Amino acid sequence: MPLSSRQLHDILKGQADAIRQLQAIYAAMDARYATAADHYGFECRGCDDSCCLTRFYHHTLVELVGLFSGYLTLSEDERRLVTQNAQAYCHVVSEDERHNRRTRYLCPLNRDTQCLLYRERPMICRLHGIPHIMRHPYKGLITGPGCHIFEATGQPVGGSPLDRTPHYIALANLEKALRNATGIGTSVRLTVAQMIACFET
């Protein structure tokens, strides 16, 4: 585990402004996403192939701390259940990696199709679903399609894809500032379940 709950508590206590900035970045993401989705006439209503079944890996310390801040708002019973689900998820991932397979397993924060920490959900959970572009400083323009539900709507090629670039830059700058302030260099590559597993250590 990259960080213990004690370390996360210390970061929250000493870097509360970073979490406020993260929420502002998230709000900007949500607004841009809504504008792009409206342009396509697309609305995510959930589906039988939920993105909550997709194994996303998250790579920033600030999002790990942000999710922890939301986790602390859950009731004791909710935290216990979420932790149990996260541990089961981590076991599946570990077995998958050992046997070179990839099982689809529901995110431990999903409760009856709703995210228990919707306000604190990480960036990729917010931006998934509609076509996007990203202007990489070395790789150039990177494009990505919408989810399979979006593609099934028969949208014409082109349109108005979501430009993720400013959001990636804002998050990267905040991440750099947080790491400079805390002196933490530990790398992050965690699913939401693996993040939650950190919260009880």
pLDDT in tens, the chain (201 residues): 578 899 999 999 999 999 999 999 999 999 999 999 998 888 887 776 678 988 899 999 999 999 999 999 999 999 999 999 999 999 988 898 889 888 888 999 999 888 999 999 999 999 999 999 999 999 999 999 988 888 887 776 667 899 999 999 999 999 999 999 999 998 999 999 999 998 987
**CB-side neighbour CA atoms (13 Å) of 35:** 12
- Per-residue tokens: 158: 């082109």
pTM: 0.91
- Residue 48: the pLDDT is 67
- The bridge status of strand 140-144 relative to strand 162-163 is unpaired
| Whole-number Å distance between alpha carbons of 146 and 129 | 5
Amino acid identity at 37: A
DSSP state of 156: P
Report the number of secondary-structure helices (H) and strands (E) in the chain. Answer: 8, 5
- Per-residue tokens: 139: 């790789």
| 51-72 exposure pattern, b = at least 16 Cβ within 10 A, e = fewer | bbeebeebbbbbbbbbbbbbbe
Strands (E), 72-186: 110-111, 114-115, 132-136, 140-144, 162-163
Q: Are 162 and 183 a contacting pair, CB within 8 Å?
A: no
